């Protein structure tokens, strides 16, 4: 005898609708509170320079609270997603049930109030002794078993969905909310909820085609986007082609999860992990301090990884809406523990560009892209160049080339409105990486490229790159050791020589790292190129 037939047949989902809506609103409120905590509390305190023992414990407590708010948001979102998936499954089961009943009745059967389908009487019962009676009855009721099975299947679907949803809701542990490990537990729950909701992690694009990734993301509704952001932040944050705001949200979640992991294991961390913990804490610090600044100085965390010595991508200003976008590729001796210096350079470049823009053309985003394994080199000891295989070969540049291409094409795919003017600026070995990226595949799709202190671009002539040689600018200080001693060796021809075919950009600074000195013509000229202008003081530097 079918169970819960009447209950499912007449099921009203209004209460479930209201519950889903309430949980969604709570998730949104928790996310807003977490964000506002950084903007209104920790951010201003960091910017004000609060320090000392009280500050250390205070920030630790506030960061733990913000982390717990993030965990609570994810758990609440998981509850909303579970209920929404349950509603979808129950509605499907209800439709399946009603269709089975309608088909049974249309075929002449009576469906009782308890869901049992009665056989129809095709021949008057008084003829039951007739030899053809049984055959006629069987023919008339040939579909009877099918109708009964369809009703049983519909009820079984509803029972299974209800049971599985209840199990998931029981696993979402509210006691995790006051513990820093709660985020990890919630991520594990997210995988189970995704399976129940029919959200397959494998549906996330592989990242090889930013345009396809952008189209995939655009097809998702808000609820599905929010779930992917919460459940799979590491994959979503690394996906070229997605909006900067989405990647930023996902990567900040990944950053918090990693920080929580280090915090729980702090007493047993080895040298490498302790260094990574400091680096991530410093980056989190920098992100929070920027929350109180003007909109054009807001930071977007477009990538974060603990691979090798750590990697990060940070944009100053939103690249999805900027009229001018610049991607800065750092070179030798750059890793996560000194990434703050690269953010400072990006900020200087943005200021220089905005100051040289005309009219309303001052919307500029500058991105520091450290998403490759930059080689180590102490330029004060140039003989190290001969001994350092990382800087002496283009292996690391080749390894990072595809990722850099994917990133710049992702910027194009995610950009809103009129095409942005895109400039790639690369320093030291970063220029080797940029050269390898532009020489291969579909290139970088940049409008301008600036290389500073370059040891080589992996090619013999500028026309082997996909950038227009008239838009390839080479800056090299007279005493830049890397440019003078490393070029024309194993990384390609010297790009500053006339026969290479690029344009010389005037620089008035000295050394390998002076190109961003305040008030310098070197910095001003980079700013001019970012906004599509020609650098000053001639074409020779």
Q: How many CB atoms lie within 10 A of CB 309?
A: 18
CB 449 within 8 A of CB 459: no
H or E element, residue 369: strand 364-370
pLDDT of 279-297, one tens digit each?
Answer: 999 999 899 889 888 999 9
pLDDT of 36-82, one tens digit each?
Answer: 887 788 878 887 888 888 888 888 888 778 878 888 888 888 999 99
Rounded CA separation 401/178 (Å): 43
CB 338 within 8 A of CB 304: no
pLDDT of 502-513, one tens digit each?
Answer: 999 999 999 999
Please give the DSSP secondary-structure letter assigned to residue 496: T
Phi first, then psi: give them for residue 200, nearest 5 degrees: -95, 125
CB 133 within 8 A of CB 123: yes
Who's near 138: CB < 8 A, 6+ residues apart? none
Quote the tokens at residue 270: 């080895």
Rounded CA separation 182/184 (Å): 5
Rounded CA separation 497/475 (Å): 11
Torsion of CA 466, 425, 240, 320, to 10 degrees: -110
CB 223 within 8 A of CB 199: no
Rounded CA separation 349/368 (Å): 10
- For every one of its 541 residues, what pLDDT tens digit does the chain have, with 9 covering 90 and above? 567 899 999 999 999 999 999 999 998 998 889 888 877 888 788 878 888 888 888 888 887 788 788 888 888 889 999 999 999 999 999 999 999 999 998 888 889 988 998 887 765 665 566 656 566 667 777 788 889 999 999 999 999 999 999 999 988 866 555 566 667 778 888 888 988 998 888 899 999 999 999 999 999 999 899 899 988 999 999 999 999 999 999 999 999 888 888 888 888 888 888 999 999 999 998 998 898 889 999 999 999 998 888 899 999 999 999 999 999 999 988 889 899 999 999 999 999 999 999 888 889 999 999 999 888 655 444 444 444 545 678 899 999 999 999 999 999 999 999 999 999 999 999 999 999 999 999 999 999 999 999 999 999 999 999 999 999 999 999 999 999 988 888 899 999 999 999 999 999 999 999 999 999 999 999 999 999 999 997 444 4
- Strand, coil or helix: 372: coil
């Amino acid at each position: 005898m079918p169970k819960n037939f009447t209950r499912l047949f007449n099921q009203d989902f209004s209460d479930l609708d209201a519950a889903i809506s309430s949980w969604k609103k709570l998730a949104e409120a928790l996310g807003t509170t977490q964000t506002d905590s950084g903007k209104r509390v920790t951010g201003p305190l960091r910017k004000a320079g609060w320090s000392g023992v009280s500050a250390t414990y205070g920030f630790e407590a506030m960061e733990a609270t913000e982390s717990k708010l993030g965990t609570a948001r994810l758990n609440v979102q998981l509850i909303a997603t579970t209920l929404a998936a349950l509603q979808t499954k129950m509605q499907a089961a209800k439709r399946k049930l009603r269709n089975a009943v309608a088909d049974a009745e249309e075929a002449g059967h009576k469906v009782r109030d308890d869901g049992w389908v009665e056989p129809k009487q095709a021949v008057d019962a008084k003829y039951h002794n007739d030899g053809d009676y049984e055959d006629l009855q069987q023919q008339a009721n040939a579909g009877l078993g099918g109708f009964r099975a369809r009703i049983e299947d519909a009820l079984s679907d509803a029972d299974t969905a209800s049971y599985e949803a209840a199990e998931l809701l029981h696993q979402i542990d509210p006691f995790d909310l006051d513990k820093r490990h709660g985020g990890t537990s919630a991520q594990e729950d997210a995988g189970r909820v995704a399976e129940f909701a029919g959200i397959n992690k494998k549906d996330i694009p592989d990242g090889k085609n930013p345009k396809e990734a952008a189209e995939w993301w655009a097809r998702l509704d808000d609820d599905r986007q929010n779930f992917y952001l919460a459940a799979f932040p590491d994959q979503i944050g690394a996906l070229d082609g997605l909006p900067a705001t989405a990647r930023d949200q996902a990567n900040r979640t990944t950053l918090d999860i990693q920080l929580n992991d280090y915090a729980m294991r702090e007493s047993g961390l080895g040298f490498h992990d302790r260094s990574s913990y400091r680096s991530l804490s410093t980056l989190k610090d920098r992100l929070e301090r920027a929350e109180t600044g003007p909109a054009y100085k807001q930071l977007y965390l477009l990538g974060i990884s603990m691979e090798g010595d750590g990697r990060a991508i940070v944009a100053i200003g939103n690249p999805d809406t900027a009229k001018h976008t610049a991607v800065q590729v750092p070179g030798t001796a750059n890793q996560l523990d000194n990434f703050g210096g690269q953010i400072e350079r990006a900020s200087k470049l943005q200021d220089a560009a905005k100051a040289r823009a005309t009219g309303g053309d001052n919307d500029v985003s500058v991105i520091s892209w450290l998403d490759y394994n930059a080689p180590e080199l102490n330029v004060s000891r140039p003989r190290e160049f001969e001994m350092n295989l990382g800087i002496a070969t283009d292996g690391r540049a080749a390894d990072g080339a595809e990722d850099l291409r994917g990133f710049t094409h992702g910027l194009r795919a995610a950009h809103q409105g009129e095409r942005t003017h895109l400039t790639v600026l690369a320093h030291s070995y970063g220029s080797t990486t940029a050269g390898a990226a532009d020489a291969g595949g579909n290139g970088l799709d940049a409008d301008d490229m600036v290389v500073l202190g370059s040891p080589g671009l992996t090619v013999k002539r500028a026309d082997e790159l996909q950038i227009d040689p008239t838009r390839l600018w080479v800056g090299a200080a007279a005493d830049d050791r890397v440019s003078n001693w490393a070029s024309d060796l194993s990384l390609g021809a010297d790009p500053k020589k006339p026969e290479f075919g690029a344009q010389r950009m005037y620089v008035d600074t000295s050394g390998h790292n002076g190109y961003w000195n305040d008030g310098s013509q070197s910095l001003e000229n980079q700013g001019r190129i970012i906004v599509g202008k020609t650098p000053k003081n001639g074409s020779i530097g």
